[in-house]
Chains A and B, each alone.
Chain A
Amino acid sequence: MVNQWFTEIKNVPGVQGVFIASGRGTIIHNEGIKIKENELQEVAMRLLRMSAIFNEKDENVSEIELFWKNLFIICKLSNNLLLVTICDSPKILPLLRITLNVSLSHLLQDKKIMKMARNHAIDKNMILRKGKFGDDELSLLSNI
C-alpha cells in the first residue's frame, strides 16, 4: 500500500528518487536514490536543522526546497517525518507538489511508518542542542 505512493512520486517526470526519514534523521525508506545511507542521514539532519531554526521563532516549517540549475530537492515535513524527493529538473513542479501532498497524507496514516517515526523521534527543541556542531554553526546559533 505504502509502495504505491512511492511509485506515484517516482512516476512524476523528472523525479530521480525519494526517501523518508524520522525527526532524528534515521532513514526509514529509500526508493531509487543511489547515495549511501549515512550520507542520506546527513542530508536529513541538515534539513532538520534548517527547520529547527524556525521552531525557535515559533514558526512551523512544512517545506524546504533547494534549487540548482539541473537539480532540485524538495523536502516535506510533518509529524516527525521528512519526505525528501530528488529531481533532475522540476518539469512539472505543481504536479509534483500535489503528488507529494497527497502521498505524504497517506504515508502519515501508515502504521508501520509512523511507528518507526515515533521510535526515532526527537523533541524538536533538542535538534539545535544535541549533536555535533561546527564552530561556525555554534557561532551563528549564539545569535538566537
Chain B
Amino acid sequence: MSLDRNKFLSQPHVVYKKSEIKSASGLNLRSSEWMILTQVNGKNSIEEIAEVASMRVQEVTQILHNLFQHGLIEIYRQEKKEENILDASFFINIEKVLTKIIGPVAPFVIEDVLSETNQSKSKFPSERVAELIELICDEIQDEQKKIHFQSEMLNFIKQELI
C-alpha cells in the first residue's frame, strides 16, 4: 500500500511500531534513519520522535515514510488519543449494560451523574471511572442489580485503571 505523503504530514500524532515481519538488519539505512527507527516503539508519536531527535516534523515524517515503504514499520495508532480521557465507547458500554439492568431510564441516570460531578462524556478523566460506576450504582435501588452492574463493569474499569 502506498500512502500519500500529505496524509503523513497532516498526522504528527500518528504512532508507529516496528514491523514484526521485516527486520532492518542487512539493510543500508542512513544514520538519521537508524536513529528514527530506534525511536519507533509503538508509543512515540511523530511529534515526540521529532522532539527527541531535535529534527523538524517534516523531516521525521519523510524518514518514516521511507521506512514504511521498506516495510520496516507499521501504523500502530492513528487517532489522537487524549491522555487520561475515557474513550467514548466506554460510555456506550455503560449505557448498554445499565439499560439491560434498569431499563430505558439508564441514559438519564448517566447524564444526571455526569451533571452532578460537573463532567461530560467527551472529557471524562479515565482515573475517575470507578468513581463514576459507584455514583451510578448509588442511583440503583435494588441491591442485586447494583452488584450485577458492578460485576459487568469490573473488567472495563480494570482496563482503564490497571
Are A and B interaction partners? yes
Residues of B within 8 A of A101 (CB): 146-147, 150
Residues of B within 8 A of A95 (CB): 130, 157-158, 161-162
Residue A98 lies at the interface, judged by CB distance under 8 Å to chain B: yes
Residues of B within 8 A of A119 (CB): none
Interface size on B, residues (CB 8 A): 14
A98 and B154 within 8 A (CB): yes
B151 and A94 within 8 A (CB): no
Return the CB mask of B120-148 against A: 1 if under 8 Å, else 0: 00000000001101100000000000110
Bound CA span A101–B148, Å? 10
Main secondary structure of the interface of A (DSSP, over half): helix
Measured as residues with beta carbon below 8 angstroms from the partner, the interface class of chain A is 10 to 19
Residues of A within 8 A of B154 (CB): 98-99, 102
Residue A11 lies at the interface, judged by CB distance under 8 Å to chain B: yes
B151 and A102 within 8 A (CB): yes
Q: What are 15 A-to-B residue pairs whose CB atoms are below 8 Å?
A: A11-B162, A13-B162, A92-B130, A94-B130, A94-B131, A94-B133, A95-B158, A99-B154, A101-B146, A101-B147, A102-B147, A102-B150, A102-B154, A105-B147, A105-B151
